[in-house]
Amino acid sequence: MEPRAAAELLKAWALEEGFDRAGVAAVEAPEHGEAFLRWLARGDQAGMGYLERRVEARLDPATMLTGARSVLCVALQYHPLAGEDDPPGPERSDLWPRVARYARGADYHDLMTARLRRLAARVAEAFPGSATRPYVDTGPVLERELAARAGLGAIGKHTNLLHPEAGSWFLLGELFTTLDLAPDAPLADLCGSCTRCLEACPTGALPEPYRLVSDRCISYWTIEHRGPLPEAARALVGEWVFGCDLCQEACPWNAAPAGADHPELRLPPERAELDLAGLLRLTREEYAARFRGSPMKRAKYEGLRRNAAVAMGNRGDARYAPALTAALGDEDPIVASHAAWALERIGDVQAGRDS
């Protein structure tokens, strides 16, 4: 089969497997490889040392699969339908901690990997002798670079991929293949002179277009960082318990994203009923049951409870005092110390309101 026809066939199969968009990129050195090296050299990766490993492979995607010639890139929309599963308003502010939208439902790694594996089996059957290898946010893959080359979007100033119809509310996956597939054309820049995302970041994590400084990023502190949060970081994370959507919410392209609704990515009942106090009180067994199959497990049991305590402190609501006081005797010293910090912060906030 000639390369263009083969590419169109695989993209059609990707849509049949439940992905919202698909495109093809050639296996070539990344255009922004030098920018990635400069990002590492500045230390913008903060404590994510794993990003410094296998740099050579990140800069040479052909190493992901022997004989690789093409990459089928896929996108899965995760923004909910209008009016449904949105961040809670003031009247529901105690019902659900602030969590990045992509992380509310099932773990996208599992969901997308299963679909890519089914797609890989279909390719193997149709093209005997070919080989494939799937990736979903794993391995030394510069996935946004590949997806941009495959026409799935243009890299925005907030460093996320932007699509004119889908905004940036989508997740990425890749299927490396030895097949010769005709590549798609990349999209033109979508940001222009707009800097709303940079202005919306409350912590200065986006000091300039296309640069993310991890140790100022709410997502880094609430997801990747292990151990106690530095004092400065506690105020930075605000009310977020896992991740952050502020730069994406500010983007004009994200006002009304298109794309299918995937029920698996919606907030399930066992987590919808958890308020911040309930999250802090979770036992290890309850955590394992409620967060089974959730991407929020990336923060670990201790991290989520630590983050809940910090969010309570930053909300400054005296109603959280009983839960925080109980946590002062927690067996985890990190949770206990952050509960103490939160109680002190609530006291300061209340004193300020009364003065």
Active site residues: 137
Q: Which helix (H) or strand (E) holds 285?
A: helix 284-290
Q: Which amino acid is at 114?
A: A
Ramachandran area for residue 253 (φ above 0: left; ψ -120 to 50: alpha; else beta): alpha
Q: Are 308 and 280 in contact (CB under 8 A)?
A: yes
Q: Which amino acid is at 37?
A: L
Q: Which position has the token pair 């794309």?
A: 259
Q: Do the strands 70-77 and 170-177 form a parallel or antiparallel pair, or are they unpaired?
A: antiparallel
Q: Which amino acid is at 92?
A: R
Q: CA-to-CA distance for 216 and 212, rounded, in angstroms? A: 8
DSSP 224: I
3-state secondary structure of 343: helix
Which tokens is 276 given? 């911040």
- CA angle centred on 62, ends 56 and 66, rounded to 5°: 115
